[in-house]
Amino acid sequence: MRVPVPEVLLPADQLGRVHFVGIGGAGLSGIARIMLARGITVSGSDAKESRTLEALRALGARCHVGHAADQVRDAETLVVSTAVREDNPEVVEAHERGLRILPRSAALESVMQGRRVIAVAGTHGKTTTTSLLTVALQHCGADPSFAIGGELNESGSNAHDGSGDVFVAEADESDGAFLVYSPHGAIVTNVEADHLDNWGTEEAYHEAFTQFLDRIDDDGFLVACADDAGAADLVDQARAKGMSVVAVGEAAGADLRAEGLTFVGSTSTFTVIDRGRRLGEIALQIPGRHYVLDALAALAAGLRLGFSFADLKRGLEAFTGTRRRMELKGQVGGVRVYDSYAHHPNEITGDLQAARALAGDGRVVVAFQPHLVSRTRLFGAGMGRALGAADEVVVMDVYVAREDPEPGVDGKLVAAHVPLPDDRVVFVPSWSATPAALVERARPGDLVLTLGAGDVTLVGPEVLELLAERETADVEGGPGADEDR
């Protein structure tokens, strides 16, 4: 549901007792975590139990499984996820009682007030870039606050209330949330049409990023990727406004450039050139060109904040990733299983390039779950074409999330556009049949990758279990097995 942003946004300590509807989600759980750290009374509800709810309870939140009107009986402010429907009993009760109701964006703005905010926006790469900048600043001794749409491997957390004056926030454009914030500095990784279920047209989507420029402080700065046409256009607009801009990328016109990119296994190495001056070499522990560009943007923001290249380099090189971003789930029988959040054609392309580097001489076997009916309708053919970079592809049905199913818009639409022989592409409409379909295709030396923003992330552990069963069966059924019995 869409909740209007109040004209006056109160700081978090003036919101009273806060109840989160959808508290287990990546966005709301992070805000709740920060409020708890500040001593604010927090409660919330979610559709199912999760380790996120367990962690919030340990911090002092009262968390419910399921939604009921009496769960908001003592709340003064309700924070609502965009995935929640208007007939949710807690939302209905809040309206009847006249409670203050906030969207996620307003709640995040309330905890960011009084801090120097660095907002990380863009169609792709927001979570990784926000995470890279956060870890880099931590290695500079800055102790920034942060709110990220994923969990850092280093801390296992998606948010933190730091002691420093910098607040690093992932600024989501999907529902216009980033237009609520007033950052000191901003990073824009790229601008490519997405979330047209909200914006309607590609032009409106791009216009939102133009409006985002006006949210940046007059004495602040913009970091944007010169390699991306949409972000490069923002660079031109910002410079025309007289803003302080750092363009990053491999492009000749970039202020901060990456040169000599090399990818070996899970390592990405590149040299940093600052307006013709060599700063040094950085070796990331994450694979892929798109992660190099994310790291370069984080580096530029850190330098603009006044931190040294040496300290920022140390942090970037220490970064080990974020959950669901090319995350290694395990290895059994010579098969490695990774999971990633990619759900847009360009994200799929980037992660498959990284997977190819990781796989070495092995093959890349992918399970892809399309996310949202509207996105699949618009980009399904492009998703299929991007999946052609794999060796074997299993396409699952659409994870409908907040939308309703639509005839003809399903995983079969995506599978039909994968440019691979028919025996190497299969549409598996049953979620429970997907792990077996992957194991059937995987052989020692291969890399299995589960892709998508839905519950495909749960497939990897089941694949590992089936691989272990297969390995045990192979051993028991090998030469001499009958004699041993």
For the annotated catalytic residues, the residue numbers are: 126-127, 170
**Which residues in the chain land under pLDDT 70?**
150-156, 195-199, 322, 324, 477-485
Positions of CATH 3.40.50.720 in the chain: 12-104
Average pLDDT value over all residues in the chain: 91
Q: Catalogue the E-assigned strands of 35-115.
A: 42-46, 62-65, 77-80, 100-103
Q: Which two tokens stand for residue 56?
A: 């919030």
| pLDDT score at 375 | 87
Residue owning tokens 């799929």: 348
Q: In this structure, which topology does domain 12-104 adopt according to CATH?
A: Rossmann fold (3.40.50)
Helix (H) or strand (E) holding 462: helix 459-476
Give the single-character DSSP code of 306. Answer: T
Give the single-character DSSP code of 280. Answer: E
Give the single-character DSSP code of 373. Answer: H
Q: Contact at 8 Å (CB) between 121 and 36?
A: no
Q: Report the C-alpha gap between 255 and 276 in whole angstroms.
A: 8
Query: How are the residues of the chain apportioned to helix, strand and coil, as percentages rounded to the nearest 5?
Result: 40, 25, 40
Amino acid symbol at 299:
L
Q: Is 316 exposed, middle or buried (0-12, 13-18, 19+ CB in 10 A)?
A: buried
Which residues neighbour 281 within 8 Å (Cβ) at sequence distance 6 or greater? 269, 270, 271, 272
Q: Report the C-alpha gap between 159 and 144 in whole angstroms.
A: 10
| pLDDT score at 398 | 92
Task: Tell me the per-residue pLDDT of 416-437, one tens digit each, with 9 for 90 and over.
Answer: 999 999 999 999 999 999 999 9
Q: Which two tokens stand for residue 66?
A: 């399921």
- In CATH terms, 327-473 corresponds, of 3.90.190.20, 3.40.50.300, 3.90.1300.10, 3.40.50.2300, to 3.90.190.20
For CA atoms 254, 255, 259, 264, give the dihedral sign.
negative
Three-class DSSP category at 225? strand
Q: Which two tokens stand for residue 196?
A: 């047209």
Q: Which two tokens stand for residue 431?
A: 């979620």
* Nearest alpha-carbon partner for 234 in 255, 256, 215, 206: 206
Give the single-character DSSP code of 200. Answer: -
Within 10 A of 279 (CB to CB), how many other CB atoms are there?
A: 16
Q: Report the C-alpha gap between 259 and 145 in whole angstroms.
A: 31
At CA 115, angle to CA 109 and CA 121, rounded to 5? 55
CATH architecture of 114-318: 3-Layer(aba) Sandwich (3.40)
What 56-61 contacts at long range (C-beta under 8 Å, 24+ apart), as own/partner pairs, is: 56/23, 56/29, 56/32, 59/33, 60/36, 61/23, 61/32, 61/36
| pLDDT score at 49 | 93
Which residues neighbour 474 within 8 Å (Cβ) at sequence distance 6 or greater? 333
Q: Report the C-alpha gap between 320 and 77 in whole angstroms.
A: 37
By DSSP bridging, strand 447-451 and strand 364-368 are: parallel
Positions of CATH 3.90.190.20 in the chain: 327-473
| pLDDT score at 196 | 60
Q: How far apart are the first and last CA of the chain?
A: 62
Three-class DSSP category at 350? helix
CA-CA distances (angstroms) from residue 65 to 43, 49, 52, 447?
11, 6, 12, 36
Task: Tell me the per-residue pLDDT of 139-191, one tens digit each, with 9 for 90 and over.
Answer: 999 999 999 876 665 556 789 999 999 999 999 887 788 899 999 999 999 99
